[in-house]
């Protein structure tokens, strides 16, 4: 090796070491930069070019073959996926806390105590049925309960609005991110060795996944293609914008991607998985809607049950047939003829059911038909009571039809938001049953036979066909009709309908079977003529109806209806649960979901921390290690400089010798 070769080796060593120092300094400077991956120089020796001048001849120095990015694609992919899940649970937990706060009420000001106060007020009215103070207090307690239900429903709707607005902000941020990624794609394609640009792009990709999980592919030019499901949002240097909207029919949130050249944006809502946007979709259109539906069920059932009993009672001013709460059932009368809907009772229909039922009255056949957008619905109509029944719903009509008429009936989707007290006059509170019937003779029974066959004995007091059973309690006329019908059907083989028309004070018994039925009233005075208005022996032909006007005296000033309404507090009138228990189940369910979200968030956070630790082991900047590298490369630089200095002295000595 010549002296000049020493100069060349020193030169390559100086240049390479300086590049190594540059890389180390770059690592130190970016040790706290988010998304930065540590860079490391790759050094290679320069061979002697194949000219062997002596055994064991050395090479020609060192060269920098490249700077590599300390990056584990598998760990990074795991991190991106799990951070998307972490973002989901962070957003979901935050939203559930907001929902939980709606139902985290003070012990004496929330819906739960208001339910008890409302029914306790009915109990007070039952004790003092003619007292204005108790009646006024009942109205106040009812208004407070309705207001609290309104407020809870409105708060849920406001939370849905807030979530939608937040989602619009997220989508706007996502659009900014995909635009920047598309721009970086082009820069990286033209400068493949730009490691810092790749770090920036991967950091943006991680941020994008925290909004919405995406799938990423890299082409042979190093550009990313990014998709939601199978829909692209970044294709090389092209970015496609996203948007958030509301479906006008379902009022659910939708996510769209606007593909250039396509006339209609693509709906990718069902493709959104994980990320904060998915959490908002689940919160807004599943969790909160579910809570709101249960609150609607509470409001609809409460109003329907209270209204049912209130309508059959009487106020101090003799008024009857009035709803206590505003009806949760909406009706429209498109023809506005002589026939109108008096009230709607839900009966056994599932709640809530927002199906729109169309009721058509055809004058030519004097018949009703019921249909939905899905098709016709089976129904039955009792002309004596003007009651139409279908799918467990009973529609009471009043007036006489002047021609064809049409009505629509449907449950209010905002029942909880709209529930209010319909009674504002204390005198109109229907505390009295009005038509109370007190049957004291336990032997008042009904005997009947079908086509002269077996004779059945039906008790009017107990429903087990045993005349010796003690009296349970006084009946209203409607409840007595229902009791008699149930007892007759239980005792005999036929099918019967027993109803009472409060307007005409008439009982009707219908034989819906094919057998002739003979009814023998056991006590003409108190049972037949006095109670039901029939003769002592009544013959019912197949598919026939007999009607009798009752002259049994009313018992004025009673408190039976108020007692019935007060007792609703202890009855399973809302989806098989007592009112307070059903509402408490709503609160408990919200609490469980919030607690579950917190637990899932803690678990997910632990997983992300473990992945971050694993990623930092490879990609993170260790300042102690970089400090050691600085010293190492500094010493190497000094040694290379010394090498050149020594070579210079050697060359000077040689030249001096030659000069002599």
| 236 three-state secondary structure | coil
Confidence of residue 37 (pLDDT cuts 50, 70, 90): confident
CA distance 265 to 517: 68
Would residue 565 count as lying in a domain? no
* Best mean pLDDT range from 216-225, 240-249, 384-393, 613-622: 240-249
The CA distance from 61 to 363, in Å, is 108
In a domain, 415, yes or no: no
In a domain, 304, yes or no: no
Tell me, yes or no, if the pTM score tops 0.85: no
Mean pLDDT of 333-352: 77
Residue 203 sits in the same domain as residue 286 = yes
pLDDT in tens, 459-505: 543 333 344 444 445 566 777 777 778 777 777 767 888 888 766 67
User: How far apart, in whole angstroms, are the C-alpha atoms of residue 69 and residue 39?
Assistant: 5
Which comes out higher in pLDDT, residue 509 or 471? 509
Same domain? For 144 and 205 the reply is yes
Model confidence at 368: pLDDT above 50:
yes
Could you give the strand order of the β-sheet that contains 517-521, starting from the edge strand earlier in sequence? Answer: 455-459, 445-450, 517-521, 537-540
Question: 55 and 137 share a domain?
Answer: no
- 573 found inside a domain: no
pLDDT at 77: 85
Helix-, strand-, coil-residue percentages of the chain, each rounded to 5:
45, 20, 30
Number of domains in the chain: 4
Q: 210 near 275, Cβ under 8 Å?
A: yes
> Can you give the residue range of the structural domain that contains 54?
3-70+621-659
**Is the domain of 255 the same as that of 188?**
yes
- Shared-domain flag, residues 494 and 627: no
Q: Is the pLDDT of residue 6 over 50?
A: yes
- What digits encode the pLDDT tens for the residues 276-315? 999 999 999 999 999 999 999 999 999 999 998 898 888 8
Show the CA angle centred on residue 622, arms to residues 617 and 625, nearest 5°: 115
Quickly list H helices, 382-529: 415-418, 477-491
Burial class for 416, CB neighbours closer than 10 Å (0-12, 13-18, 19+): buried
One domain for residues 232 and 346: no
State how far Cα 570 lies from the chain centre.
Answer: 29
> How far, in Å, CA of 508 to CA of 196, rounded?
89
pLDDT of res. 104: 83
DSSP 572-623: --BTTB-HHHHHHHHHHHHHHHHHHHHHHHHHHHHHHHHHHHHHHHHHS--H
Of residues 582 and 45, more confidence is placed in: 582
Residues 549 and 471 in one domain: yes
CB 114 within 8 A of CB 144: yes
Would residue 472 count as lying in a domain? yes
pLDDT at 375 over 50: yes
User: Do 195 and 266 belong together in one domain?
Assistant: yes
Residue from 383, 415, 127, 195 nearest 296 by CA:
415
Q: Which of 220, 227, 225, 221 is nearest to 242 (CA)?
A: 227
CA dihedral 364, 367, 372, 378 (to 10 degrees): -140
Pair (272, 248) in one structural domain: yes
Give the lowest-confidence range in 30-34, 113-117, 606-610: 30-34
Please indicate, yes or no, whether residues 233 and 143 belong to a single structural domain of this protein: yes
Which comes out higher in pLDDT, residue 82 or 536? 82
267, 247 contact by CB (below 8 A): no
Q: How many CB atoms lie within 10 A of CB 237?
A: 14
pLDDT digits (tens, 9 = 90+) for 98-137: 999 999 876 677 899 999 999 999 999 999 998 999 999 9
β-bridge mates for residue 69, sequence order: 39
Q: Are residues 605 and 629 in the same domain?
A: no
Confirm whether 298 is domain-assigned: no
Of 102, 182, 193, the residue nearest 149 (C-alpha): 102
Is residue 54 pLDDT above 60, yes or no?
no
pLDDT score of 57 more than 70: no
From CA 338, how far away is CA 350, in angstroms rounded? 31
For residues 627-642, average pLDDT? 85
161 and 28 in a single domain? The answer is no
Report the DSSP beta bridge partners of residue 45: 62
Residue 14 within any structural domain of the chain: yes
Q: Is the pLDDT reported for residue 429 higher than 80?
A: yes
* CA-based max dimension of the chain: 160
| Residue found under tokens 């640009």 | 197
Determine if the peptide bond prior to 352 is cis (ω within 30°).
Answer: yes
Q: What is the mean pLDDT of the chain?
A: 84
How is residue 76 written in tokens? 């990074």
Task: Answer whether residue 310 is part of any domain.
Answer: no
Residues, the chain: 660
Output the six-digit token pair for 482: 């229902």
């Amino acid at each position: 090796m010549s002296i000049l070769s020493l100069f060349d080796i020193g030169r390559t060593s100086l240049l390479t070491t300086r590049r190594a120092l540059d890389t180390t300094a770059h690592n130190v400077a970016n040790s706290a930069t988010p998304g930065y991956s540590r860079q490391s120089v790759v050094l290679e020796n320069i061979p002697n070019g194949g000219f062997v001048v002596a055994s064991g001849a050395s090479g020609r120095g060192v060269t920098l073959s490249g700077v590599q990015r300390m990056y584990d694609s598998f760990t990074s992919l795991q991190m991106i996926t799990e951070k998307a899940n972490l973002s989901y649970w962070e957003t979901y937990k935050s939203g559930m806390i907001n929902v939980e706060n709606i139902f985290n009420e003070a012990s004496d000001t929330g819906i739960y105590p208001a339910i008890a106060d409302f029914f306790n007020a009915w109990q007070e009215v039952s004790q003092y049925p003619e007292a204005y103070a108790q009646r006024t207090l009942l109205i106040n307690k009812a208004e407070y309960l309705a207001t609290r239900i309104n407020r809870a429903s409105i708060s849920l709707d406001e939370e849905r609005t807030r979530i939608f607005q937040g989602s619009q902000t997220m989508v706007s941020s996502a659009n900014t991110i995909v635009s920047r990624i598309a721009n970086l794609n082009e820069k990286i394609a033209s400068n493949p060795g730009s490691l810092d640009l790749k770090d920036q792009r991967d950091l943006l990709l991680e941020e994008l996944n925290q909004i919405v999980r995406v799938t990423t592919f890299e082409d042979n030019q190093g550009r990313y293609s990014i998709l939601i499901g199978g829909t692209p949002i970044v294709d090389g240097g092209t970015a496609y914008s996203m948007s958030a909207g509301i479906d006008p029919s379902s009022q659910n949130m939708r996510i769209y991607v606007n593909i250039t050249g396509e006339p209609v944006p693509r709906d990718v809502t069902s493709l959104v998985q994980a990320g904060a946007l998915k959490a908002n979709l689940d919160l807004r259109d599943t969790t909160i809607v579910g809570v709101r539906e249960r609150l609607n069920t509470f409001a609809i059932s409460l109003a329907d049950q209270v209204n049912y009993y209130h309508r059959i009672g009487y106020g101090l001013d003799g008024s009857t047939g009035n709803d206590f709460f505003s009806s949760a059932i909406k009706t429209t009368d498109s023809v506005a003829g002589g026939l109108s809907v008096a009230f709607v009772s839900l009966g056994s229909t599932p709640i809530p059911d927002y199906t729109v039922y169309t009721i058509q009255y055809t004058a030519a056949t004097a018949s009703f038909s019921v249909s939905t957008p899905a098709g016709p619905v089976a129904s039955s109509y009792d002309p004596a009571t003007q009651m139409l029944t279908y799918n467990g719903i009973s529609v009471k009509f009043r007036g006489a039809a002047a021609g064809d008429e049409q009505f629509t009936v449907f449950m209010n989707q905002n029942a909880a938001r709209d529930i209010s007290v319909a009674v504002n006059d204390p005198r109109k509170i229907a505390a009295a049953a009005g038509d109370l019937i007190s049957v004291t003779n336990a032997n008042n029974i009904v005997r009947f036979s079908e086509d002269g066959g077996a004779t059945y004995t039906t008790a009017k007091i107990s429903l087990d066909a045993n005349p010796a059973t003690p009296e349970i309690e006084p009946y209203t006329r409607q409840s007595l009709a229902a009791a008699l019908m149930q007892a007759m059907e239980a005792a005999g083989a036929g099918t019967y309908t027993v109803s009472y028309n409060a307007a005409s004070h008439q009982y009707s018994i219908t034989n819906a079977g094919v057998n002739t039925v003979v009814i023998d009233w056991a006590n003409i005075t108190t049972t037949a003529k006095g109670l039901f208005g029939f003769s002592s022996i009544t013959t019912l032909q197949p598919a026939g109806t007999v009607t009798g006007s009752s002259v049994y005296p009313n018992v004025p000033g009673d408190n039976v209806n108020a007692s019935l309404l007060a007792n609703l507090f202890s009855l399973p009138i809302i989806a098989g649960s007592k009112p307070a228990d059903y509402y408490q189940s709503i609160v408990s369910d919200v609490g469980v979901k919030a607690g579950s979200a917190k637990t899932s968030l803690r678990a997910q956070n632990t997983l992300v921390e473990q992945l971050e630790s694993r990623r930092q082991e490879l990609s993170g900047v260790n300042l102690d290690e970089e400090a050691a590298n600085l010293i190492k490369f500094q010493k190497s630089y000094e040694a290379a400089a010394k090498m050149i200095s020594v070579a210079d002295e050697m060359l000077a000595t040689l030249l001096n010798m030659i000069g002599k």
